[in-house]
Amino acid sequence: GRERDARDEAAASPSARAEATASSTPHTEHGAAPATPKAPGAPSPDAGEQGALGLPPGVRHFAAAFTRALPAGIHADGAWSVLPLGRVGSATLEVRIDSDGRIADVSTEAPAGAPPILTRMLNRALMLLRAGTFSLDPRRVTPGTERLEIEVTLSDRAPNPDPTADARHLQAVGFAAPTRERAGHARFTLNSGRHMEAVVRIVPTSAP
């Protein structure tokens, strides 16, 4: 009858379909910038909460862009699911941005015995940034050398309640840009509940 037709129409509506798929769709956490088109001259979302108000279009704050890139692609690495919970380890990255804003030199280092996933994560993020133009300061174009320290921990959170969700896929992802005054972070949670958090700190260095 008419009541059944109304129920069928509601079930087929866009809002009903969205609710049905929401539990299997990754969401962004506080500090993550969703992929939305930028107007010409708009601040770069790669600067996270701080913004990059003084940088020209196309120039990104390196520490923010690097932090944001950390979860990209590496969340699918099977190592996250088999490593023990707790502190995974730490690594350092030193980068030199030249006067054109390009990555001129970069080196990564992890202590002996550190899980290889740490180096893979850093290298993956750097690969994504290789073609970019950057500044060491989010307020003005600044070349030079900068050192970042990254410390990674694993924990378990609530798994995705959707029984059809692939345990290896993303449930949530987020980042907050580091500044010279405070640490930033990159994080993701898999549908299994496995949660990775990378704390990123800027350690100023003197460029030669």
**Is there a domain that residue 178 lies in?**
yes
Give me the pLDDT at residue 38, please: 36
In a domain, 177, yes or no: yes
pLDDT in tens, 81-136: 999 999 999 999 999 999 999 999 999 999 999 999 999 999 999 999 999 999 99
Sort 163 into a burial class: Cβ within 10 Å, 0-12 / 13-18 / 19+: exposed
Q: In the prediction, which pLDDT does 142 show?
A: 94
**Contacts of 50 by beta carbon, 8 Å cutoff, 6+ apart:** 61, 64, 138, 177, 179
The total domain count for the chain is 1
User: Which residues of the chain register pLDDT less than 50?
Assistant: 2-25, 30-51, 207-208
At 28 the pLDDT is 55
What is the model's pLDDT at position 103? 97
Our CA dihedral for 26, 31, 37, 41, rounded to 10 degrees, sits at -170
In-domain check, residue 155: yes
Give the structural domain span for 58: 27-204
pTM: 0.75
For residue 22, tell me if it sits in a domain: no
* Residue tagged 């009541």 (tokens): 3
